[in-house]
């Protein structure tokens, strides 16, 4: 890029806002996907305000520079993998959070961490439910971009269910507010909803207005060990019609063992699958719901079922589940799958994943938001071994194909990003893909926003 | 319209599908808004299938005939008011409903009534929550078009929260499926969400896949009479941080009296406002939640508070609230307002509405989904008296202005349709309005879908 053009950007923004030195921009090239294809940004803007973002995007539009909007960089689908010569617009410094306990909303800068919003809400006895596995390190702006899910979704829904308003810098640099603070609002097309999950392709989110709930009641926990993941899947399918669990998570044997290696908790290493469920129903109903869940596990053939009303004991199992990602990470590289299938098909799909793993000669531990049918097969591979990479990629593609074939989706909560873009046409078909592109082109006619991501 | 052109449409569809005689098309000119500006359709297609809808829309696209998609015609914002010479595409015959109790979904034709979906779900011990006041007469396709709300929203959300998938005939006649059956799906732009609430401007919904919940637990009810609506509003604001009511409805004195005239139930005609709340928390928590709600009412100065665990007694109060619309209707014509404001401002906004009613010399009974801040002022007028109409219209406009001024919206659940289109720019501002139009033009380049509605 022409130095004079870059100088215009540097001059237009507060001192220290623009990074151009390769050693400084290096850590902005990639997200947790660790893509070998990550390009080198021409510059990184560490915006301190929406005005900074506007300045940056206007400059990019004028000079036709691709913009990669970036939150905390914790994505798992390459949604913020840098494009060669791009402008990375990072909102990491925009971390202000204001909680209005009367309206029960949080107004947060896009760079505020999910956990910080939770903590700020808790001060007022309030609760921000969305809890992606990354909640301690991911930003709410990134959560909005991917419409992030998590463990609570089975009862409390996903990010879009909590977004009341957004400030967005459009691809031409205009700043708009979508939505507001009311829970019901049908004035105009639901553009607010269109932006949640748009993966930075329609603009840069700078501020979010989030709906809060009263603090979550304490939870009772049920833990069940099964001989096979299929039995656990059957228990999950049976529960859905009878109770509304506040979480319902599954780990297969390989994941349980990875967790035990990483952080010994005394989990049964010999079980084929571990199911952890919680009820946060108020009062005595909590124990009743957990008892229904336990009965479903026993009926599905669980070898052992344990339930507890002690939040601390329950938290231990929740932490075991939360450790699954880091524990598998500690074992080496894996491709993070995120398919979502109809819940009653979870047992079948687990079978098929095991079969595909055997066929391609790869290890594929699976953990899952089982209550939503959202599976995270972790396809392990050796980054230095091209054959291992090739086999992992083949399994990755086949698992997505399997999800599509059974009426599911290639991504439940991570997004399409760049790693799943090739699979999107197979799921959507040409007509819906074309609709995606038409909407995108309508809002970003220059095609500068996050090119190569999503669709 | 050229008879030969119309003959092409008639010939292309099954016998009896197309109505052209004015006495047959008359009842398709309008919805519950009873707009004096309703045009005369060139034809009405009573589609029996998505293929019929495709044929009709293709014909309309070829001949540049405006299409007004129509469900049950129960809208309150003129969203299906016929355009002169248009083609009305009615889905009223597409009423098939299939419930899959294993997946806990209902797949319904767009013309299926909301109540019929509820009933079909109940057979399997399941529940479809969205419950607009019109639920006995409105179609799920229309509910999707307006993103309809209702009484349960305060705890259970609105229509978009239950739509997993849609079949839509696009403005060029192509049939696409958006979404699917899984609760989590972030593959591509959230076009499914874009279509829910798009008021027939982006296509004709032909089939919906709806998420069902386990049957709602029985509810306990609290009823409180206040001297003033402001006291009731204060009680509502106080509850939100402490409990999650399953409903929280308000009627002012005029509405209570209209209901008593319409269906005598022994309500206190002298109270300034009646608040009806319910908790459907499981087990003993139900009574506890209702006690918290009752305490909030007493603290806000309620003159009388009654609570009951008896579902039949509770239902009586729910029915009283549901009778508000028909009861006011029986008194004569009114313009149905639908503003939504931050909940803590409900008392202030009720004051302002009373003041505006006095200033314009109109009667404005108010009932409200108070827990959401969604107010339904009913602006009464004499259709034959131009001065009365003028004063009512002025009050209608001023109430919307009031909602915008306090950070609310001109429509919480009825939609913009044609009656509120003039007020939309004031709420959205020029930039967001332009975004609406760009998205609309991208998906309907010929501009044939529901022209004059929404934006």
Handedness of CA A216, B318, B277, B279 (dihedral sign): negative
Q: What is the pLDDT of residue A1?
A: 80
Band of pLDDT at residue A210, cut at 50, 70 and 90? very high
The answer to whether A334 touches A379, Cβ cutoff 8 Å, is yes
Which residues on chain B are in Cβ contact (under 8 Å) with A153?
A: 183-184
CATH architecture of B97-214: 2-Layer Sandwich (3.30)
Compute the distance between CA of residue B18 and CA of residue B44 in angstroms, rounded to an integer. Answer: 6
Which residues on chain B are in Cβ contact (under 8 Å) with A442?
A: 438-439, 441-442
Handedness of CA B434, B435, B440, B446 (dihedral sign): positive
Q: What is the pLDDT of residue A284?
A: 86
Average pLDDT over residues B372-395: 97
Which residues on chain A are in Cβ contact (under 8 Å) with B408?
A: 180, 182
Q: Residue B80 pLDDT more than 90?
A: yes
Question: In the beta sheet, which residues pair with residue B158?
Answer: none
User: What is the least distance, in Å, from the CA of A251 to any CA of chain B?
Assistant: 19
Q: Among all residues of chain B, which has the CA nearest to that of A420?
A: B187
Q: Among all residues of chain B, which has the CA nearest to that of A126?
A: B241
- DSSP for A307-323? EE--HHHHHHHHHHHHT
Band of pLDDT at residue B198, cut at 50, 70 and 90? very high
Q: Which residue has the tokens 């926990």?
A: A221
Interface test with A, best of B175, B189, B290 (most A CBs within 10 A): B189
Which residues on chain A are in Cβ contact (under 8 Å) with B178?
A: 432
Q: What is the pLDDT of residue A242?
A: 86
User: What angle do helix axes A285-299 and A229-239 make, rounded to 10 degrees?
Assistant: 140
User: What angle do helix axes A3-12 and A50-63 make, rounded to 10 degrees?
Assistant: 160
User: What is the least distance, in Å, from the CA of B297 to any CA of chain A?
Assistant: 17
Q: Among all residues of chain A, which has the CA nearest to that of B369?
A: A184
Interface test with A, best of B188, B203, B401 (most A CBs within 10 A): B188
Band of pLDDT at residue B408, cut at 50, 70 and 90? very high
3-state secondary structure A51-113: HHHHHHHHHHHHHCCCEEEECCCCCCCCCCCCCCCCEEEECCCCCCEEEECCCCEEEEECCCE
- 3-class state of residue B398 by DSSP: helix
Average pLDDT over residues B184-189: 98
Inspect the interface and report whether the beta carbons of B189 and A410 lie closer than 8 Å.
Answer: no
User: What is the least distance, in Å, from the CA of B261 to any CA of chain A?
Assistant: 31
Compute the distance between CA of residue B88 and CA of residue A404 in angstroms, rounded to an integer. Answer: 36
Q: Residue B241 pLDDT more than 80?
A: no
The per-residue pLDDT for range A262-272, each reduced to its tens digit, is: 999 899 999 99
Handedness of CA A378, A380, A381, A382 (dihedral sign): positive
Interface test with A, best of B184, B193, B289, B372 (most A CBs within 10 A): B184
Report chain A's mean pLDDT, rounded to a whole number. Answer: 96
Report chain B's mean pLDDT, rounded to a whole number. Answer: 96
Domain parsing of chain A, residue ranges: 3-90, 97-214, 220-405
The per-residue pLDDT for range B87-132, each reduced to its tens digit, is: 999 999 999 999 999 999 999 999 999 999 999 999 999 999 999 9
Q: Residue B275 pLDDT more than 90?
A: yes
Q: What is the pLDDT of residue B242?
A: 85
The per-residue pLDDT for range B329-354, each reduced to its tens digit, is: 999 999 999 999 999 999 999 999 99
Closest CA to A250 of A368, A412, A374: A368
Average pLDDT over residues A172-195: 97
Q: Among all residues of chain A, which has the CA nearest to that of B173?
A: A431
Inspect the interface and report whether the beta carbons of A409 and B104 lie closer than 8 Å.
Answer: no
Q: Among all residues of chain B, which has the CA nearest to that of A199?
A: B189
Closest CA to A328 of A368, A278, A294: A368
Band of pLDDT at residue B389, cut at 50, 70 and 90? very high
Select from B182, B188, B374 the Cβ nearest to the Cβ of A416: B188
Phi, psi of A40 (to 5 degrees): -105, 120
A vs B, Cβ pairs < 8 A, gives 274
Q: What is the pLDDT of residue B74?
A: 96
Q: Among all residues of chain B, which has the CA nearest to that of A342?
A: B182
Select from B160, B176, B281 the Cβ nearest to the Cβ of A193: B160
Q: Among all residues of chain B, which has the CA nearest to that of A453?
A: B188
Q: What is the DSSP letter of B419?
A: T
For domain B220-405, say whether CATH 3.40.462.10 is its number.
yes
Inspect the interface and report whether the beta carbons of A190 and B198 lie closer than 8 Å.
Answer: yes
User: What is the least distance, in Å, from the CA of B13 to any CA of chain A?
Assistant: 24
Select from B415, B420, B443 the Cβ nearest to the Cβ of A438: B443
The per-residue pLDDT for range A400-428, each reduced to its tens digit, is: 999 999 999 999 999 999 999 999 999 99
B172-to-A218, B84, B128, B191, B447 alpha-carbon distances in Å: 52, 21, 32, 17, 11
First-to-last C-alpha distance (Å) of chain A: 27
User: What is the least distance, in Å, from the CA of B157 to any CA of chain A?
Assistant: 8
The answer to whether A159 touches A141, Cβ cutoff 8 Å, is no
B137-149 as b/e: b if 16+ CB within 10 A: ebbbbbbbbbbbb
Inspect the interface and report whether the beta carbons of A161 and B158 lie closer than 8 Å.
Answer: no
Q: Which residue has the tokens 């950007």?
A: A9
Q: Residue A282 pLDDT more than 90?
A: no
Token pair for residue B121? Answer: 């779900």
Give the distance, in angstroms, between the CA of residue A354 and the centroid of all CA atoms in the same chain: 24
Select from A285, A407, A443 the Cβ nearest to the Cβ of B181: A407
Q: Among all residues of chain B, which has the CA nearest to that of A424?
A: B187
Select from B187, B340, B420 the Cβ nearest to the Cβ of A182: B340
Where are the alpha helices (H) located in B246-385, listed in sequence order? 253-262, 285-299, 311-322, 324-331, 346-360
Interface ipTM above 0.90: yes
Compute the distance between CA of residue B300 and CA of residue B232 in angstroms, rounded to an integer. Answer: 7
Q: What is the pLDDT of residue A283?
A: 85
Q: What is the DSSP letter of B303?
A: S
Inspect the interface and report whether the beta carbons of A409 and B182 lie closer than 8 Å.
Answer: yes
Select from B185, B281, B436 the Cβ nearest to the Cβ of A340: B185
Compute the distance between CA of residue B274 and CA of residue B391 in angstroms, rounded to an integer. Answer: 28
Which residues on chain B are in Cβ contact (under 8 Å) with A211?
A: none
Q: Among all residues of chain A, which has the CA nearest to that of B189?
A: A198
CATH number of B3-90: 3.30.43.10
Inspect the interface and report whether the beta carbons of A146 and B185 lie closer than 8 Å.
Answer: no
């Amino acid at each position: 890029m022409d130095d004079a053009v870059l100088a215009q950007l540097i001059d237009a923004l507060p001192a220290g806002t623009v990074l151009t030195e390769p050693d400084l921009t290096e850590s902005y090239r990639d997200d947790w996907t660790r893509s070998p294809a990550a390009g080198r940004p021409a510059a990184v803007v560490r915006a301190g305000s929406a005005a900074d973002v506007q300045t940056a995007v206007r400059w990019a539009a004028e000079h036709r520079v691709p913009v990669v909007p970036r939150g905390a960089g914790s994505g798992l689908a390459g949604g913020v993998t840098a494009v060669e010569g791009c402008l990375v617009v990072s909102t990491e410094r925009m971390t202000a959070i204001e909680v209005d306990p009367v309206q029960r909303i949080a107004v947060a800068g896009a760079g505020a961490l999910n956990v910080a919003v939770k903590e700020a809400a808790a001060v007022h006895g309030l609760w921000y439910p969305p809890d992606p596995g990354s909640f301690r390190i991911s930003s709410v702006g990134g959560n909005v971009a991917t419409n992030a899910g998590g463990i609570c979704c089975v009862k409390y829904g996903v990010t879009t269910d909590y977004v009341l308003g957004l400030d967005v810098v459009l691809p031409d640099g205009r700043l708009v507010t979508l939505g507001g603070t009311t829970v019901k609002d049908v004035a105009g097309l639901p553009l607010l909803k269109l932006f949640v999950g748009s993966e930075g392709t329609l603009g840069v989110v700078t501020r979010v207005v989030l709906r809060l709930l009263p603090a979550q009641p304490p939870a009772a926990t049920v833990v069940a060990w099964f001989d096979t993941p299929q039995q656990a899947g059957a228990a999950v399918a049976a529960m859905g019609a009878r109770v509304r669990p506040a979480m319902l998570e599954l780990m297969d044997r390989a994941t349980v063992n990875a967790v035990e290696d990483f952080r010994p908790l005394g989990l049964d290493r010999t079980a084929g699958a571990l199911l952890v469920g919680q009820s946060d129903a108020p009062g005595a109903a909590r124990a009743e719901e957990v008892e229904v869940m336990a009965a479903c596990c026993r009926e599905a053939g669980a070898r052992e079922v344990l339930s507890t009303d002690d939040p601390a004991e329950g938290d231990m199992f929740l932490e075991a589940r939360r450790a699954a990602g880091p524990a598998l990470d500690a074992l080496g590289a894996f491709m993070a799958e995120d398919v979502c299938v109809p819940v009653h098909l979870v047992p079948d799909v687990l079978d098929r994943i095991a079969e595909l793993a055997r066929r391609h000669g790869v290890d594929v531990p699976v953990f899952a938001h089982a209550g939503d049918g959202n599976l995270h097969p972790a396809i392990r591979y050796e980054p230095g071994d091209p054959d291992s990479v090739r086999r992992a990629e083949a399994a990755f593609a086949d698992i997505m194909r399997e999800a599509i074939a059974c009426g599911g989706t290639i991504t439940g909560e991570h997004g399409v990003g760049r790693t799943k873009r090739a699979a999107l046409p197979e799921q959507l078909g040409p007509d819906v893909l074309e609709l995606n592109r038409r909407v995108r082109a309508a809002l970003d006619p220059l095609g500068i926003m996050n090119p190569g991501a999503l669709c």
